[in-house]
C-alpha cells in the first residue's frame, strides 16, 4: 500500500478536483432529496454507486483485505451512511453554500477527537483556532435564524451540525483507511456497506423513482465515486495538513453551483462566518506536524 510522501503539486491538484466534483454531487443530491426524499436519493444513488464500484473492483482485482482492514471499511461505511443522510436531509432546508460553510467545523472537531482517540496533544494555538471557528459557526447560524424562520430551517441546521460531528470522526478513519487500502478497494467496501444498511430499511421507506430521475441518480453516483477515489488517492500521497486548505474551495464551488442550479444567494453573514471558520482551520493546519497528522477532510 502507498504511504504518505512529501507534499506534491499533483496530489494538491487531484484533491482540488475531488472537492469540486464532490460539490457538484452535493447540488445534484439536493435536487434529488427535494424530489425523492433524502432516504430514497441515498438508496438509489448508492445502488448505482456499488454497481460501478463492484465493476471497478473486479477489473482491478486488488488483493483481498485482512479482517482488520475489512472491519475498518465496514465501520467507516456505517459512519458515512448516517453522516451522509443527515447532511442531505439538512441540505433540503439550507442553501448549499451555508451547509458547506457549517460543515467546515469538522476539521476543528477532528482535532479534539484525535486527542481522545489517538492521544494527541492539543496546543494553545489549536484551542484559539477552535474558539474562532465556533464563533464563525455561530455567525452563520444567527444569520439564518435571525427574525422569523421556518421550523424546518432549525432542524436543517441541527442535522448539518450533527453530520459535521460524524464527519470529524470520519476524518480520523479516512487517514487510517487511506494508508491501508487503495481507492478502488475503499470505494467498493464503502458503497457496499452503505447499500446494505439502506436496503435493510427499503421495505419501510423505499419508493421506485420515476424514470426521469435516473440520469440525475447516475450523475450523483458517478460524481461521488470519482470524488471518493480522487481524495483517497491524494491523501495517500501527501501530508494531510498540507492538503487541508484545498477543502475550503468547496465553499466557492457550492456558492457557484447553488446559484446556478437553485438561484441561491450567499449572505454576508455566511461569508463572514465561513471566513472565520476557514481562518481557524488554517491556523490549525499551520501548527507543527505532530499536532495535525490526522486532521484532514474527505468525500462522502
291 or 284: whose pLDDT is higher?
284
The residue written with cell numbers 457496499 in the block is 192
**In the prediction, which pLDDT does 291 show?**
40
**In the prediction, which pLDDT does 294 show?**
35
283 grid coordinates: 491556523
| Residues 266-284: tens digit of each pLDDT | 788 888 888 887 787 677 6
Q: Is 22 in contact with 298 (CB distance < 8 Å)?
A: no
67 grid coordinates: 479482517
148 grid coordinates: 422569523
**In the prediction, which pLDDT does 71 show?**
94
- pTM, two decimals, is 0.79
Query: Confidence band (pLDDT; 50, 70, 90) for 72?
Result: very high
- pLDDT over 70 at 2, yes or no: no
* Sign of the Cα pseudo-torsion (26, 20, 154, 264, in order): negative
Q: How many CB atoms lie within 10 A of CB 288?
A: 10
Lowest model confidence (mean pLDDT) among 42-51, 101-110, 124-133: 124-133
DSSP state of 179: T
Q: Is 123 in contact with 292 (CB distance < 8 Å)?
A: no
The residue written with cell numbers 495538513 in the block is 241
Torsion of CA 230, 115, 164, 70, to 10 degrees: 50
Contacts of 69-73 spanning 24+ positions with Cβ under 8 A:
69/180, 69/181, 70/189, 72/173, 72/176, 72/177, 72/180, 73/177, 73/181, 73/185, 73/186, 73/189, 73/190, 73/193
**In the prediction, which pLDDT does 1 show?**
45
Mean pLDDT estimate for the chain: 81
Q: How many CB atoms lie within 10 A of CB 116?
A: 10
Lowest model confidence (mean pLDDT) among 11-20, 59-68, 129-138, 185-194: 129-138
Average pLDDT estimate for 96-108:
80
Lowest model confidence (mean pLDDT) among 20-24, 88-92, 168-172, 276-280: 276-280
Q: What percent of the chain is modeled with pLDDT above 70?
A: 83
Query: Confidence band (pLDDT; 50, 70, 90) for 239?
Result: low
**In the prediction, which pLDDT does 216 show?**
96
- CB-based burial of residue 35 (10 Å sphere; 0-12 exposed, 13-18 middle, 19+ buried)? middle
| Residues 145-177: tens digit of each pLDDT | 665 567 788 888 899 999 999 988 887 787 778
Average pLDDT estimate for 122-128:
69
Q: How many CB atoms lie within 10 A of CB 14?
A: 22
* For the chain, the helix, strand and coil percentages under 3-state DSSP, each to the nearest 5: 80, 0, 20
Produce one character per residue of 65-90: b if its CB has 16 or more CB atoms within 10 Å, e if not. Answer: beeebeebbbebbebbbebbbbbbbb
229 or 111: whose pLDDT is higher?
229
- pLDDT over 50 at 142, yes or no: yes
Average pLDDT estimate for 228-257:
76
**In the prediction, which pLDDT does 280 show?**
73
- pLDDT over 80 at 141, yes or no: no
Q: How many CB atoms lie within 10 A of CB 37?
A: 16
Amino acid at each position: 500500500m502507498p504511504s504518505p510522501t512529501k507534499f506534491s503539486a499533483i496530489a494538491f491538484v487531484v484533491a482540488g478536483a475531488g472537492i469540486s466534483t464532490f460539490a457538484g454531487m452535493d447540488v445534484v443530491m439536493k435536487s434529488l432529496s427535494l424530489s425523492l426524499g433524502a432516504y430514497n436519493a441515498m438508496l438509489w444513488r448508492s445502488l448505482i454507486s456499488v454497481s460501478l464500484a463492484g465493476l471497478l473492483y473486479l477489473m482491478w482485482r486488488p488483493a483481498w483485505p485482512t479482517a482488520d482492514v475489512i472491519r475498518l471499511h465496514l465501520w467507516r461505511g456505517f459512519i458515512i451512511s448516517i453522516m451522509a443522510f443527515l447532511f442531505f436531509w439538512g441540505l433540503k432546508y439550507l442553501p448549499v453554500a451555508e451547509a458547506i460553510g457549517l460543515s467546515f467545523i469538522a476539521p476543528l472537531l477532528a482535532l479534539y477527537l484525535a486527542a481522545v482517540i489517538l492521544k494527541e496533544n492539543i496546543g494553545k494555538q489549536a484551542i484559539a483556532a477552535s474558539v474562532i471557528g465556533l464563533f464563525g459557526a455561530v455567525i452563520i447560524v444567527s444569520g439564518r435564524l435571525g427574525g422569523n424562520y421556518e421550523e424546518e430551517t432549525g432542524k436543517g441546521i441541527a442535522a448539518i451540525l450533527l453530520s459535521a460531528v460524524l464527519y470529524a470522526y470520519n476524518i480520523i478513519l479516512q487517514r487510517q483507511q487511506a494508508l491501508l487500502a487503495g481507492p478502488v478497494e475503499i470505494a467498493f467496501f464503502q458503497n457496499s456497506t452503505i447499500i446494505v444498511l439502506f436496503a435493510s430499511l427499503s421495505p419501510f421507506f423505499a419508493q421506485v423513482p420515476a424514470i426521469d430521475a435516473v440520469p440525475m441518480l447516475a450523475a450523483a453516483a458517478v460524481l461521488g465515486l470519482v470524488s471518493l477515489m480522487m481524495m483517497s488517492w491524494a491523501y495517500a500521497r501527501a501530508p494531510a495538513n498540507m492538503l487541508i486548505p484545498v477543502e475550503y474551495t468547496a465553499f466557492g464551488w457550492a456558492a457557484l453551483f447553488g446559484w446556478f442550479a437553485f438561484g441561491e444567494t450567499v449572505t454576508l453573514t455566511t461569508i463572514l462566518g465561513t471566513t472565520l471558520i476557514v481562518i481557524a482551520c488554517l491556523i490549525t493546519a499551520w501548527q507543527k506536524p505532530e499536532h495535525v497528522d490526522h486532521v484532514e477532510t474527505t468525500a462522502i
